[in-house]
Chains A and B, each alone.
Chain A
Amino acid sequence: MKINRRTFVGAAAVSGALLSAPAVLGQTRPRVVVIGGGAGGATAARYLARDSEGALEVTLVEASPVYTSCFFSNLYLGGVRSFESLQHGYGRIGDGVRVVHDMATGVDPVARVVTLAGGASLPYERLVLSPGIDFREGSVPGWSLAAAGIMPHAYKAGPQTQLLKAMVEAMPQGGVFAMVAPPNPYRCPPGPYERVSMIANLLRQSNPTAKILIFDPKEKYSKQALFEEGWGLHYDGMIDWIGPEFGGGDVAVRPDTMEVVVEGAAQKVDVCNVIPAQTAGRIAALAGVTDDSGWAPVHPGDMRSRADENIFVLGDSAAQGDMPKSGFSANSQAKVAAMAIRGALTGSRVFPARYANTCWSLIAPDDGVKVGASYEPTPEKIASVHSFISATGEDAALRKATFEESLGWYAGITADMFG
């Protein structure tokens, strides 16, 4: 018995009809430009080049010569992983990918040209945008990017992450660490709560009388029962979560005096990690594919922008439905988009889209938990079809196995992204 090929022929015909621009004829190979070398962009570039076997000209635009993964950066903050272990170069991504280390500063969607800060122009037949997040100015009154050196966001991994760790290590005995948590939707839903877990792990050893305060505008958050159980078990009394009922939704900051202002009452803290509200990475707005929400709506079947049929948007920047904004999601979406682009430009087979995500979080060393789901496209959105979450009360052996599995996943996804 063979696969029912009619399914695929049908899918290919549909995408062919929707993508009005035919594969480019002539001497030059069809050009695909990918902006953003993270979990979405690096994966897309690598899969496009590898699977098209030279039929496509693939260019990856990434400002940084070294990628520092946001996933697992909390483990660095917690002292259980080195900073260097988060860093990856582009040297093994494959000969078929031309990597350009420059900043994309504009997109002309009519002429189909990307312009770079260095002055170069990159024409494309298809453009893949995977620029991650940017921060919404003014979402936390008193905070701006200019204050990030005093109150770090550390929500794009790199020097900000190192700065935050240094600040935590320099806290006075019995000092206060405050986090201003973001409203939905934002990158890595369990991320802020894994972060305080890891900071508590660091402080437990060096500064056991320190306090951690989370000011949160959300009524509830990802893996809440698991985190609350773990905080009680490992860090009893150290972490206080202040939800909207107690003022977590009415927070301003004063970087000059290192104060957090909750419902008008100022409170001095020693370290303040502000994770602002977020939007799609700026280049998505410049390309004209975002809407009033600040995110870029995409077709659920292939991650193609709803605003521009030649542009695909992956990962955090995309508004696609039920998938969380995570590296795993971006990697999963990249493979679907790469398949669709290759199908449109080279006539290769196009299969039905499918997506998956799993988010592992570390509550304490060897105490790992996970949440995940599989997804399929519907006409309206990418919809969750199956899901699971770790249970409270799991034994230590299972939690350790979950953590070890997350290490395997990290090795797997980074190999999948960078070769």
Chain B
Amino acid sequence: MRWGAVAGVLALFSVAPATAEQIGDAARGARLFGLQCAPCHSVGPGAANRTGPVLNGLFGRRAASVGDYDYSKSMRRMGADGLTWTYETLDAYIANPKALVSGTRMSYRGMAEPTARAALLAYLRDWSDRPRDIPEAEPTARATAPHLPPDVLAIEGDREFGAYLAAECATCHQRDGSDQGVPSITQWAPSDFVAAMHAYKQKLRPHPVMQMMAARLSSEEIAALAAYFATVR
């Protein structure tokens, strides 16, 4: 699978700007929703699952928890691992869906502009049962998508080093791409791999084994692994 969209990954690097009282312009969010989300999702009175799951009551809800919706295996795994939709996780997901949930079926390449995401989330919050989970004012530190300075993305991975480091991954992740119980990590676009690993390193993705493995990987080592796994047959 290739979800390339370097533009989407780059969107992760921008930091959400300070907003005043509200998290965003909900009226603008409604327009954005109509244009970009409504083809697949519905929200508000009478909303139901369509191509995507219903978005009423989204905030505070566990990922993949709408009972009668058929989620991707990847999204179900993230839900089981503990991913819950908060302002921070939604912001990261909308910025680049595949960076947070690798195998999501949502074929949306991401919303780069932070104020647009804030507007969209302000609109969705209006239909949430638990608006208290939304900060009314700009928090002092908002953990959004993985913080990746451009020089981190520009690192050219040392494939031979990656091959050594990858031996550690192969204890669980099979090189032939099997994905029973443990997801496949072969044949990823390097930019996706780098974004995903930094999301674990920064504890945006919830899985404890992966957080531990990523915690000690330097940016060079992540790039090396990305270079290696991109080319495993």
Q: Bound pair: A and B?
A: yes
Give me the interface of A with B, judged by CB distance under 8 Å. 1-4, 8, 47, 328, 331-332, 335, 339, 349, 351, 354, 356, 358, 370, 372-374, 376, 385-388, 397-398, 400-401, 404-409, 411-413, 415-416
Interface check B129, CB cutoff 8 A: no
Please state if B209 and A372 are interface contacts (CB–CB under 8 Å). yes
A415 to B173, alpha carbons, bound, how many Å?
A: 10
Please state if B171 and A354 are interface contacts (CB–CB under 8 Å). no
Task: List B169-205 residues whose CB lies under 8 Å from chain A.
Answer: 170-176, 178-182
A356 to B211, alpha carbons, bound, how many Å?
A: 13
Please state if B174 and A415 are interface contacts (CB–CB under 8 Å). yes
Residues of B within 8 A of A349 (CB): 160-161, 164
A374 with B215, Cβ < 8 A, contacts A331-B171, A397-B79, A412-B170 known: yes
A264 to B167, alpha carbons, bound, how many Å?
A: 51
One digit per residue, 1 when the CB lies within 8 angstroms of any chain A CB and 0 when it does not, for chain B 141-177 equals: 0000000000100111010110011011011111110
Among the listed B154, B175, B215, B224, which residue makes an inter-chain contact with A386, where contact means beta carbons less than 8 Å apart?
A: B215
Kindly report which residue of chain A lies nearest to residue B64, judged by CB atoms: A397
Residues of B within 8 A of A8 (CB): 161
Please state if A409 and B77 are interface contacts (CB–CB under 8 Å). no
A374 with B213, Cβ < 8 A, contacts A328-B171, A398-B81, A409-B182 known: yes
Closest 7 interchain pairs by CB?
A408-B181, A408-B182, A401-B80, A388-B208, A335-B167, A404-B181, A412-B172
Dominant secondary structure at the A interface: helix
Kindly report which residue of chain B lies nearest to residue A336, judged by CB atoms: B167
Residues of B within 8 A of A332 (CB): 168, 171
Residues of B within 8 A of A335 (CB): 164, 167-168
CB distance from B148 to the nearest CB of A (A): 14
Residue among A1, A406, A415 with the highest chain B CB neighbour number at 10 A:
A1
CB distance from A412 to the nearest CB of B (A): 4
Residues of A within 8 A of B172 (CB): 358, 405, 408-409, 412-413
Interface check B44, CB cutoff 8 A: no
Kindly report which residue of chain B lies nearest to residue A373, judged by CB atoms: B212
CB distance from A395 to the nearest CB of B (A): 9
Among the listed B164, B165, B175, B181, which residue makes an inter-chain contact with A409, where contact means beta carbons less than 8 Å apart?
A: B181
Interface check B233, CB cutoff 8 A: no
Name 15 extra pairs, CB < 8 A, besides A397-B79, A408-B180, A409-B181. Answer: A1-B220, A2-B158, A3-B224, A335-B167, A349-B161, A354-B168, A372-B209, A387-B212, A405-B181, A406-B181, A408-B182, A409-B182, A412-B171, A415-B175, A415-B176
A411 to B184, alpha carbons, bound, how many Å?
A: 13
CB distance from B186 to the nearest CB of A (A): 12
Interface check B132, CB cutoff 8 A: no
Residues of A within 8 A of B181 (CB): 404-409, 411
Please state if B209 and A370 are interface contacts (CB–CB under 8 Å). yes
A1 with B161, Cβ < 8 A, contacts A386-B216, A405-B182 known: no
Please state if B212 and A3 are interface contacts (CB–CB under 8 Å). no
A349 to B179, alpha carbons, bound, how many Å?
A: 31
Interface check B4, CB cutoff 8 A: no
Please state if A388 and B212 are interface contacts (CB–CB under 8 Å). yes
Residues of B within 8 A of A401 (CB): 77, 80-81
Kindly report which residue of chain A lies nearest to residue B168, judged by CB atoms: A356
Residues of A within 8 A of B151 (CB): 1
Kindly report which residue of chain B lies nearest to residue A409, judged by CB atoms: B172
Interface check B39, CB cutoff 8 A: no
Please state if A398 and B168 are interface contacts (CB–CB under 8 Å). no
A113 to B178, alpha carbons, bound, how many Å?
A: 41
A1 with B154, Cβ < 8 A, contacts A351-B161, A387-B212, A412-B170 known: yes
Kindly report which residue of chain A lies nearest to residue B173, judged by CB atoms: A412
